[in-house]
Amino acid sequence: MPGSGRFAPSPSGDLHLGNLRTALLAWLFARTTGRDFLIRVEDLDRVRPGAMERQLSDLRALGLDWDGDVVKQSDRLPRYADAITSLTDRGLTYPCFCTRKEIQQAPSAPHAPDGAYPGTCRNLTPSEQADKLASGRKPALRLRAETTSFTVRDMLHGNISGMVDDVVLLRGDGVPAYNLAVVVDDGAQNVDQVVRGDDLLTSAPRQAYLATLLAITPPIYAHVPLALNSEGKRLAKRDGAVTLSDQRDLGRTPAEVLTLIASSIGLAEPGEVVSPTELADRFDPQKVPGDPWIFTSVDPLDPVKGS
């Protein structure tokens, strides 16, 4: 039986149209394959007061629904601690005292893929670790990976083999790292389909490999194109009317915004009135556009711009 799909925003601000587009695609992929659709709030890092509530309100305004309660990562810390204990008991973790600057300046390890952690702290002796602790440095905890590559299945990109390195599992401030939390949560929530922006495609092999170490079956991925501004950069608040609230201020209703987003996926004609259920009837994952959506600030009376 199918498991679940999910949308997992970070409550650092309002969702922009690119985020809402990804949410719609994640909803469509899940609903058209008989999966539950879950919302998980990734609030282990920067949190802006009220952002989560506004994000959920925007999703509802577009007509997207979800199954079960909204889950917050900050409520799941014991699960991450258990995963770290399991890996540590098997000798698969080690403390890392490197600063970001030191990692950037360190020479790459022999045969290590470009961009991989160079392994500076991988083989420190207990005495060397004690000296660094005595100096006041608070270590992060890294995975002791036993491979340098892993292959994942992506519904839009095919089989993708990518780099695996010693990712951080626990930050120096004691906060579980993203790569650990997302894997643990997907496993615990029976998420077997992950639809997200293609900027995270290179993270998938690392996460899938970590999942196997935790006896979690890696999900099937669908990394969808991002929304970009006219300069080809990721959409951001500075690009104009990019949130649902901004669009309301321009006179556009949530239903019209849904149509705008749907037309960027090829599921609606500009100005057509549609619902998520109608979009699901039209949805074909093989026809998801492969190019990014180039969005420009829209005139509320012009349904063509921005699509």
Annotated binding site for ATP: 237
Show binding-site residues.
Answer: 6-10, 42, 96, 98, 117, 121, 178, 196, 237
Helix spans in the chain (H): 17-31, 51-61, 77-89, 100-105, 126-134, 178-188, 204-213, 244-249, 254-264, 276-282
Half-sphere exposure of 156 (CA within 13 A, CB side): 21
CB 227 within 8 A of CB 199: no
d(CA 105, CA 103): 5
Collapsing DSSP to helix, strand or coil, 294 comes out as: strand
- State the binding site for Zn(2+): 96, 98, 117, 121
Please, what is the end-to-end C-alpha distance for the chain in angstroms?
Answer: 36
Run of H or E including 40: strand 36-41
Pairing of strands 140-143, 168-170: antiparallel
φ, ψ (nearest 5 deg) of residue 99: -85, 165
- Residues marked as binding for L-glutamate? 6-10, 42, 178, 196
